[in-house]
Amino acid sequence: MLVVAGTLTVIGWLMQHLADQGLIANGAYGIATLVAGLPIIFKAISALRARVMSIELLVSIAVVGAVAILEFEEAAMVTFLFAFGNFLEQRTLQKTHQAIQNLTEMQPTTATMVVDGQYQEVEIDEVDEGAVLVVRVGDQIPVDGEIISGSAEVDEALITGESKLVNKTTGDQAYMGSIVENGQILVQAQKVGEDTTFGKIIELVEEAQDNQAPMSKFIDRFAKYYTPFVLVVAILILLFTKNLRLAITILVLACPGALVIGAPVSNVAGIGRGAKAGILIKGGDVIDQLAQVDTILFDKTGTVTEGRPTVKSIKEYQEDHWLALAADLEKQTNHPLARSIVEYYEKRGQKTTADFNLPITTIKGIGIQSEYQGQTIWIGSRRVLTENQIELTTQQARDLQVIENDGQSVVLMTVDQKLVLMVGLVDQIRKGVKETFEKLKQSGIDKQWMLTGDNSVIAEKIAKTIGIHQVEAQMLPEEKALFLEQLQNDGRHVLFVGDGINDSPSIAKANVGIAMGNGTDVAIETSDVVLIDSDFSNIQNARRVAKATMRNTMQNVGIAVGTVALLLIGVAYGWVNMASGMLFHEISILVVIFNAMRLLRMKF
């Protein structure tokens, strides 16, 4: 359609200006106007039915007016250039969505399932949780799951953005979309389809790109009132000057095409650039809030640390099977410290956890509680002692002090108000944490707090290592959320970074909540930004994307408004006519689009 309209317009111009065939030229212009103009008129009518006076209405009235005064060339030029602008807009949006389309196309469609010792190729939709799949060299891993046998070098670039190969072996997590480059593994499915990390990436980015920024919403409202305003101005000009051509020219040149697409294109391009780097920003509102953040609060375990602690010391105060019971209870939770205790027990003598079939009650910020043979069992942080008013022996108090002074996190197990087990665990600080906090401070986030449920000795030691001076320790989840709310009441724009279910209240309450990609589903669902590869430096990169997107949007608004103002001045002084003005309009749309696409090439 666009090609036909453009070709006919060119033919009309050649017939009119070179062959002096006015009748043929007007015929070509007329058909071109119909071909390119009818879709515009239909959009205007649809908008009117919804009681919205759209930009298309301005163009439609202007074109009808141009035809009425027999200015067929201007009518053809206007409709073609407006249609061409829409085409450019759609192409740009399509390009910024291309990364998501590519992801969708990269989803594995089949899997090789192990059934009664035999390999059976099935459609991916037939794979259920718990199924065992074999993945060989060159195959994509079709599910999220645990490797139960074998080892392999895996390319996880589709998930993490990192091109280096990762060694995977029994007990490691495997992610849908990753490619086995060397080796063979058996994977037990834990998440399939849309529930996988890969599926959530696609879902989150699609939702984000459909979520308008405040600037986009403002422009939509602006256009709703701007159109009737321009119509009134054009009518007044017609009444006072009796110049129909001038009134129609005003209608055409006042169309703020670049303004309408400027903010959405910037928004989509910024979100697309973030997704390319493993930063999922859930919409334009988040970009606006993230650019304004001046305070950061963050959890310790699994956030500034790797979240893969290992047992360094263990003290057993009764010769009984308490460690086995602790491992059995802890395997029912998803806390990193709990997983580490289970792994330690299973590796110590290649044992597997016993199955005591004991229900547990989770007490947020403290630990878990259960009943065993009439005895009350508690496993958790130091708060277990104060919660149950337990007094330590001299030796136990000395052991606890030594472990904590060494910077180890402590898990305590009590049975009927007696301490029976003390476990000390160490966790590695994530790469680049100290540098990231320094960069955030330089960029304007001058208030930085670490909030943790761990004890103050460990918290202070970690904080000193990463260069943080403000620490709040031994905090319950509700206390973290209350602390955050107090900062907001003081006028601070707060960013909260966490990974676990305990962090979800604070992540949800913050102006912007960031979840590490290795965190729980609850934290990821309630967050505004997800760092897929849990790269801490991407916190700073996410903010850079947000600020760059906001700057880009304002630049586009300035280009659009400036273009309209200059064209109207040109009309007033007789320097600009309808066709030349429309050409400048489309040039401004191109400038806005190319300006937004610079975000896709943003370097970190």
pLDDT at residue 484 in the model? 92
167-184 confidence digits (pLDDT tens): 888 888 888 878 888 888
For residues 107 and 511, the model is more confident at: 511
Rounded average pLDDT over 396-414: 89
Residue 36 has pLDDT above 90, yes or no: no
Contacts of 559 (CB under 8 A, 6+ apart): 258, 262, 588, 591, 592, 595
Task: State yes or no: pLDDT of 553 exceeds 80.
Answer: yes
| pLDDT at residue 512, as a whole number | 92
Phi, psi angle pair for 535, to nearest 5° = -80, 115
Does 301 or 97 have the greater pLDDT score? 301
Q: What is the pLDDT of residue 497?
A: 92
Look at 88 and 487; give whichever has higher pLDDT: 487
Residue 385 CA to residue 406 CA, distance in Å, equals: 20
Q: What is the pLDDT of residues 455-508, one digit of tens each?
A: 788 888 888 889 888 999 888 778 888 999 999 999 999 999 987 656 778 888
Average pLDDT over residues 365-383: 88
Residue type, 538: N
503 included as an active-site residue: no
Q: What angle do CA 168, 324, 425 make, to 5 degrees?
A: 60
Looking only at the bridges linking them, the beta strands covering 132-135 and 179-191 are: antiparallel
Burial class (CB in 10 A: 0-12, 13-18, 19+), 135: buried
pLDDT at 266: 84
Tokens of 1: 């359609």
CA atoms within 13 A on the CB side of 379: 25
* pLDDT of residue 289 exceeding 80: yes
Mean pLDDT of 571-600: 81
Angle at 588 (CA atoms; ends 587, 591), nearest 5 degrees: 90
Backbone angles phi, psi at 521, to 5 degrees: -60, -35
Q: What is the DSSP string of 520-587?
A: -HHHHHH-SEEETT--TTHHHHHHHHHHHHHHHHHHHHHHHHHHHHHHHHHHHTT---HHHHHHHHHH
Q: Using CB atoms within 10 A of its CB, is residue 149 exposed (0-12), middle (13-18) or buried (19+)?
A: middle
259-269 residue pLDDT tens: 767 777 788 88
Of the pLDDT bands very low, low, confident and very high (cuts 50, 70, 90), residue 161 is very low
Q: What is the mean pLDDT of the chain?
A: 81
The predicted structure's pLDDT at residue 99: 47
How many other CB atoms are there within 10 angstroms of residue 7's CB atom?
14
Out of 288, 299, 328, 535, pick the active-site residue: 299
96-145 residue pLDDT tens: 455 455 555 566 778 888 888 888 888 888 888 888 989 888 888 888 88
Q: Which residues contact 105 (CB under 8 A, 6 or more apart)?
A: none
pLDDT 10s digits, 205-237: 555 545 555 555 666 666 667 778 878 888 888
Predicted pLDDT at 521:
62
Quickly count helices (H) and strands (E) in the chain: 22, 20
**How confident is the model over 338-365, as a mean pLDDT?**
77
Question: In this predicted structure, what is the pLDDT of residue 207?
Answer: 58
pLDDT, average across residues 24-28: 84
Cα–Cα distance measured from residue 244 to residue 69, given in angstroms and rounded to the nearest whole number:
8
Choice between 185 and 84, residue whose per-residue pLDDT is larger: 185
- How far, in Å, CA of 475 to CA of 514, rounded? 19
